[in-house]
């Protein structure tokens, strides 16, 4: 079945560092990609939606200058957390779908980000 | 998307069937019922979806009430690997290109 690969799966870095997370669709063209964030014991919260070749649409309350999203190709989207601080520590999950709206939305395995 | 209501948690024993309920009393005629699950420390995984008729696949069965105001996800024989958070999500067919919005889901525990 369709696979979404997310990398890295786990990262620890110092406060003030920028961190890039990659999301790849391995066997389908991801016309739309989504980024979610999940805090412990909570559900997934949608951060932004990006369509290939277009600027991402951010949900209310998500700082677009802090969470930079690039979706330059049909198989790759990146999320960069700029100048990360401890409150940005979370589980970040990407998701992708193709143009066939009968197909389910596929998810990566997530990136656990810890900012010291 | 219309709201769903699920129990916070359920328990099951291995090898027994599990029935996970979902109430969606405000469902519209164009809302599909989707089920996803999230295993610990992983991203969500598609389980099944349907509109009006019951659906079966290799993972589970979806039973939809005649009035569509509720549905039940059925795991025929629970295994330890089925311990996860199960999310019931409604999505309008005309919003199919938008992101899934997750509620709190049901945390299923499976005992050996």
- List, run by run, the mean pLDDT of 10-residue segments along chain B (112 residues): 90 97 95 95 95 95 97 97 97 87 96 94
Are residues B99 and A101, on separate chains, in Cβ contact within 8 Å?
A: no
User: Residues 6 or more apart from B24 whose CB is under 8 A from it?
Assistant: B2, B3, B4, B5, B31, B33, B68, B69, B70, B71, B88, B90
Are residues A109 and B43, on separate chains, in Cβ contact within 8 Å?
A: yes
Q: Which of A43, A107, A109 sits opposite B105 (nearest CB)?
A: A43
Number of helices (H) and strands (E) in chain A: give both, helices first.
Answer: 0, 11
Residue of A24, A106, A107 best to disrupt the B interface, most CBs of B under 10 A: A107
Are residues A6 and B43, on separate chains, in Cβ contact within 8 Å?
A: yes
Distance CA B6, CA A18 (A): 38
Q: Which of A101, A104, A110 sits opposite B43 (nearest CB)?
A: A110
* Res A101: pLDDT: 76
Cα angle for residues A47, A51, A54 (degrees, 5° grid): 105
Q: Minimal Cα distance from B43: which residue of A?
A: A109
What phi and psi, each to the nearest 5 degrees, are found at residue B94? -85, -5
Tokens of A106: 């596929």
* Res B2: pLDDT: 65
- Say whether B4 sits in a helix, a strand or coil: coil
pLDDT digits (tens, 9 = 90+) for A98-107: 888 778 899 9
Distance CA A78, CA A96 (A): 12
């Amino acid at each position: 079945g369709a696979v979404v690969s997310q990398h890295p799966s786990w990262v620890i870095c110092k406060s003030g560092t920028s961190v890039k997370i990659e999301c790849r669709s391995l066997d389908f063209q991801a016309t739309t990609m989504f980024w979610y964030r999940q805090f412990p014991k909570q559900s997934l919260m949608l951060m932004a939606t990006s369509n290939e070749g277009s600027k991402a649409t951010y949900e209310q309350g998500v700082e677009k200058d802090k969470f930079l999203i690039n979706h330059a190709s049909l198989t790759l989207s990146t999320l960069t957390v700029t100048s990360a601080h401890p409150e940005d520590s979370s589980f970040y999950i990407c998701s992708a779908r193709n143009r066939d709206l009968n197909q389910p939305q596929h998810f990566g395995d997530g990136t656990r980000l810890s900012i010291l | 998307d219309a709201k769903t209501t699920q129990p916070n948690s359920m328990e099951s024993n291995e090898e027994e069937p599990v029935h996970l309920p979902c109430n969606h009393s405000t469902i519209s005629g164009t809302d599909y019922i989707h089920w996803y699950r999230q295993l610990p420390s992983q991203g969500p995984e598609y389980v099944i979806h349907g509109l009006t008729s019951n659906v079966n696949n290799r993972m589970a069965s979806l039973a939809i009430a005649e009035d569509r105001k509720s549905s039940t996800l059925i795991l025929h024989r629970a295994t330890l690997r089925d311990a996860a958070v199960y999310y019931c999500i409604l999505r309008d067919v005309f919003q199919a290109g938008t992101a899934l919005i997750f509620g709190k889901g049901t945390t299923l525990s499976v005992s050996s």
